[in-house]
Structure 1
Amino acid sequence: MTEERDRSPEDIGNRARRMKAARDNPGPSPLRGIGTFGMIGWSIAVPAVGGAFLGLWLDRVAPQGFSWTLALIVGGVVLGAVIAWGWIGKEGDGK
Protein backbone atom coordinates (compact mmCIF):
# COMPACT_ATOMS: atom_id res chain seq x y z
CA MET A 1 0.00 0.00 0.00
CA THR A 2 1.12 3.51 -0.69
CA GLU A 3 0.82 6.26 1.82
CA GLU A 4 -0.31 9.64 0.65
CA ARG A 5 1.72 12.40 2.15
CA ASP A 6 -0.06 15.22 3.86
CA ARG A 7 -0.26 18.33 1.73
CA SER A 8 0.13 21.77 3.14
CA PRO A 9 -2.44 24.46 2.35
CA GLU A 10 0.20 26.22 0.21
CA ASP A 11 0.71 23.07 -1.91
CA ILE A 12 -3.02 22.73 -2.42
CA GLY A 13 -3.34 26.43 -3.29
CA ASN A 14 -0.46 26.29 -5.78
CA ARG A 15 -1.90 23.21 -7.45
CA ALA A 16 -5.34 24.85 -7.71
CA ARG A 17 -3.80 27.97 -9.29
CA ARG A 18 -1.89 25.86 -11.84
CA MET A 19 -5.04 23.92 -12.72
CA LYS A 20 -7.03 27.15 -13.16
CA ALA A 21 -4.29 28.66 -15.35
CA ALA A 22 -4.23 25.52 -17.52
CA ARG A 23 -8.01 25.67 -17.88
CA ASP A 24 -8.02 29.39 -18.74
CA ASN A 25 -5.18 29.12 -21.29
CA PRO A 26 -5.42 25.69 -22.93
CA GLY A 27 -2.69 26.38 -25.50
CA PRO A 28 -2.64 25.76 -29.23
CA SER A 29 -4.90 23.14 -30.76
CA PRO A 30 -4.54 21.44 -34.15
CA LEU A 31 -8.27 21.79 -34.73
CA ARG A 32 -8.05 25.54 -34.18
CA GLY A 33 -5.40 25.73 -36.91
CA ILE A 34 -7.63 23.82 -39.31
CA GLY A 35 -10.52 26.13 -38.46
CA THR A 36 -8.37 29.20 -39.09
CA PHE A 37 -7.23 27.80 -42.42
CA GLY A 38 -10.85 27.16 -43.42
CA MET A 39 -12.02 30.60 -42.33
CA ILE A 40 -9.29 32.30 -44.35
CA GLY A 41 -10.13 30.20 -47.41
CA TRP A 42 -13.84 30.93 -47.21
CA SER A 43 -13.31 34.64 -46.58
CA ILE A 44 -11.38 34.86 -49.85
CA ALA A 45 -13.38 32.36 -51.93
CA VAL A 46 -16.88 33.69 -51.25
CA PRO A 47 -16.25 37.31 -52.40
CA ALA A 48 -14.28 36.05 -55.43
CA VAL A 49 -17.07 33.71 -56.56
CA GLY A 50 -19.67 36.35 -55.81
CA GLY A 51 -17.71 38.81 -57.94
CA ALA A 52 -17.54 36.26 -60.76
CA PHE A 53 -21.32 35.76 -60.79
CA LEU A 54 -22.00 39.50 -60.58
CA GLY A 55 -19.45 40.09 -63.34
CA LEU A 56 -21.06 37.53 -65.64
CA TRP A 57 -24.41 39.21 -65.16
CA LEU A 58 -22.95 42.69 -65.75
CA ASP A 59 -21.15 41.47 -68.91
CA ARG A 60 -24.57 40.52 -70.33
CA VAL A 61 -26.51 43.55 -69.07
CA ALA A 62 -23.94 46.34 -69.43
CA PRO A 63 -21.11 45.29 -71.78
CA GLN A 64 -17.97 47.44 -71.62
CA GLY A 65 -14.55 47.50 -73.22
CA PHE A 66 -13.22 45.51 -70.26
CA SER A 67 -14.41 42.32 -68.62
CA TRP A 68 -16.62 42.91 -65.61
CA THR A 69 -16.06 39.30 -64.61
CA LEU A 70 -12.28 39.60 -64.35
CA ALA A 71 -12.47 42.98 -62.65
CA LEU A 72 -14.92 41.75 -60.00
CA ILE A 73 -13.02 38.50 -59.40
CA VAL A 74 -9.90 40.55 -58.66
CA GLY A 75 -11.98 42.91 -56.50
CA GLY A 76 -13.45 39.95 -54.63
CA VAL A 77 -10.01 38.47 -53.97
CA VAL A 78 -8.76 41.83 -52.68
CA LEU A 79 -11.84 42.26 -50.47
CA GLY A 80 -11.46 38.70 -49.18
CA ALA A 81 -7.79 39.29 -48.41
CA VAL A 82 -8.68 42.40 -46.40
CA ILE A 83 -11.34 40.45 -44.47
CA ALA A 84 -8.89 37.59 -43.82
CA TRP A 85 -6.17 40.02 -42.73
CA GLY A 86 -8.53 41.64 -40.22
CA TRP A 87 -9.69 38.26 -38.93
CA ILE A 88 -6.12 37.05 -38.44
CA GLY A 89 -5.33 40.29 -36.63
CA LYS A 90 -8.18 39.66 -34.19
CA GLU A 91 -7.10 36.05 -33.62
CA GLY A 92 -3.50 37.12 -33.04
CA ASP A 93 -4.63 39.52 -30.29
CA GLY A 94 -6.32 36.65 -28.50
CA LYS A 95 -9.76 38.25 -28.64
Structure 2
Amino acid sequence: MKADDDDSDFLRKLGTKAKRKLKAQRQGQPRVLRGLGLLGIVGWSIAVPVLLGLVIGWWLDECCPGRYAWTLNLLIAGLFLGCINVIFWVRKEFRAMHDEQDDKEQPHD
Protein backbone atom coordinates (compact mmCIF):
# COMPACT_ATOMS: atom_id res chain seq x y z
CA MET A 1 0.00 0.00 0.00
CA LYS A 2 2.78 2.39 0.86
CA ALA A 3 4.38 2.04 -2.58
CA ASP A 4 1.06 2.96 -4.23
CA ASP A 5 0.79 6.07 -2.05
CA ASP A 6 4.36 7.09 -2.95
CA ASP A 7 3.66 6.53 -6.64
CA SER A 8 0.45 8.56 -6.61
CA ASP A 9 2.18 11.38 -4.70
CA PHE A 10 5.01 11.37 -7.23
CA LEU A 11 2.58 11.41 -10.16
CA ARG A 12 0.62 14.28 -8.60
CA LYS A 13 3.80 16.33 -8.15
CA LEU A 14 4.89 15.51 -11.68
CA GLY A 15 1.51 16.60 -13.04
CA THR A 16 1.70 19.87 -11.11
CA LYS A 17 5.15 20.64 -12.50
CA ALA A 18 4.02 19.80 -16.04
CA LYS A 19 1.01 22.13 -15.72
CA ARG A 20 3.26 24.91 -14.42
CA LYS A 21 5.66 24.46 -17.34
CA LEU A 22 2.85 24.50 -19.90
CA LYS A 23 1.36 27.64 -18.39
CA ALA A 24 4.76 29.36 -18.47
CA GLN A 25 5.13 28.42 -22.13
CA ARG A 26 1.66 29.80 -22.91
CA GLN A 27 2.47 33.08 -21.18
CA GLY A 28 5.50 33.38 -23.41
CA GLN A 29 7.61 35.54 -21.12
CA PRO A 30 10.42 33.67 -19.35
CA ARG A 31 10.98 34.28 -15.65
CA VAL A 32 14.38 35.79 -16.43
CA LEU A 33 12.76 38.56 -18.45
CA ARG A 34 10.19 39.12 -15.71
CA GLY A 35 13.02 39.45 -13.20
CA LEU A 36 14.87 41.94 -15.40
CA GLY A 37 11.67 43.91 -15.87
CA LEU A 38 11.18 43.99 -12.13
CA LEU A 39 14.74 45.26 -11.67
CA GLY A 40 14.00 48.05 -14.15
CA ILE A 41 10.85 49.01 -12.28
CA VAL A 42 12.74 48.98 -8.98
CA GLY A 43 15.46 51.19 -10.44
CA TRP A 44 13.03 53.73 -11.83
CA SER A 45 11.01 53.68 -8.62
CA ILE A 46 14.08 54.99 -6.83
CA ALA A 47 15.54 57.16 -9.59
CA VAL A 48 12.44 59.25 -10.30
CA PRO A 49 11.87 60.53 -6.72
CA VAL A 50 15.62 61.17 -6.30
CA LEU A 51 15.77 63.19 -9.52
CA LEU A 52 12.60 65.10 -8.64
CA GLY A 53 14.04 65.93 -5.21
CA LEU A 54 17.28 67.03 -6.85
CA VAL A 55 15.60 69.31 -9.39
CA ILE A 56 13.13 70.84 -6.93
CA GLY A 57 15.91 71.32 -4.38
CA TRP A 58 18.15 72.99 -6.94
CA TRP A 59 15.30 75.30 -7.98
CA LEU A 60 14.60 76.21 -4.34
CA ASP A 61 18.30 76.89 -3.72
CA GLU A 62 18.36 79.20 -6.73
CA CYS A 63 15.18 81.13 -6.00
CA CYS A 64 15.33 81.36 -2.21
CA PRO A 65 18.71 80.44 -0.75
CA GLY A 66 18.74 79.78 2.94
CA ARG A 67 20.73 78.38 5.77
CA TYR A 68 20.24 74.76 4.66
CA ALA A 69 20.82 73.21 1.25
CA TRP A 70 17.46 72.29 -0.23
CA THR A 71 19.12 70.18 -2.89
CA LEU A 72 20.76 67.77 -0.48
CA ASN A 73 17.74 67.56 1.83
CA LEU A 74 15.25 66.91 -0.96
CA LEU A 75 17.62 64.44 -2.63
CA ILE A 76 17.73 62.43 0.60
CA ALA A 77 13.95 62.72 0.99
CA GLY A 78 13.52 61.48 -2.61
CA LEU A 79 15.82 58.54 -1.89
CA PHE A 80 13.82 57.69 1.23
CA LEU A 81 10.48 57.89 -0.62
CA GLY A 82 11.88 55.82 -3.49
CA CYS A 83 13.04 53.10 -1.11
CA ILE A 84 9.65 53.05 0.63
CA ASN A 85 7.99 52.78 -2.78
CA VAL A 86 10.23 49.84 -3.73
CA ILE A 87 9.53 48.04 -0.45
CA PHE A 88 5.77 48.23 -1.08
CA TRP A 89 6.19 47.21 -4.74
CA VAL A 90 8.39 44.20 -3.96
CA ARG A 91 6.05 43.05 -1.15
CA LYS A 92 3.10 43.23 -3.51
CA GLU A 93 4.92 41.24 -6.21
CA PHE A 94 6.18 38.71 -3.64
CA ARG A 95 2.64 38.11 -2.35
CA ALA A 96 1.25 37.81 -5.87
CA MET A 97 3.97 35.35 -6.84
CA HIS A 98 3.37 33.18 -3.78
CA ASP A 99 -0.42 33.31 -4.16
CA GLU A 100 -0.01 32.21 -7.77
CA GLN A 101 2.33 29.41 -6.72
CA ASP A 102 -0.09 28.25 -4.00
CA ASP A 103 -2.89 28.12 -6.57
CA LYS A 104 -0.75 25.97 -8.83
CA GLU A 105 0.20 23.52 -6.10
CA GLN A 106 -3.34 22.89 -4.87
CA PRO A 107 -4.88 19.93 -6.67
CA HIS A 108 -8.02 20.78 -8.60
CA ASP A 109 -10.61 18.01 -8.48
* TM over 0.5, shorter chain: yes
Residue correspondence of structure 1 range 39-50 to structure 2 within 5 A: 39-50=41-52
RMSD between aligned alpha carbons? 2.5
CA distance in 2, matches of 1:90, 1:21: 24
CA deviations on 1:46-77 (whole Å, 9 max, x unpaired) are 00001100001100112111100000000000
Q: Which has the larger radius of gyration?
A: 1
Residue correspondence of structure 1 range 14-93 to structure 2 within 5 A: 18=16, 21-22=19-20, 23-24=22-23, 26=24, 29-93=31-95
Runs of 5+ unmatched residues, structure 1: 1-13
Runs of 5+ unmatched residues, structure 2: 1-11, 25-29, 98-109
Matched residue SS, 1:94 = helix
Taking every aligned residue pair, what percent have the same amino acid on both sides? 37
Moved over 3 A (4+): 17-21
The structure in which a higher percent of residues are helix is: 2
CA distance in 2, matches of 1:60, 1:81: 27
Q: CA deviation at 1:21?
A: 3.5
User: Which residue in 2 is equivalent to 1:8?
Assistant: none
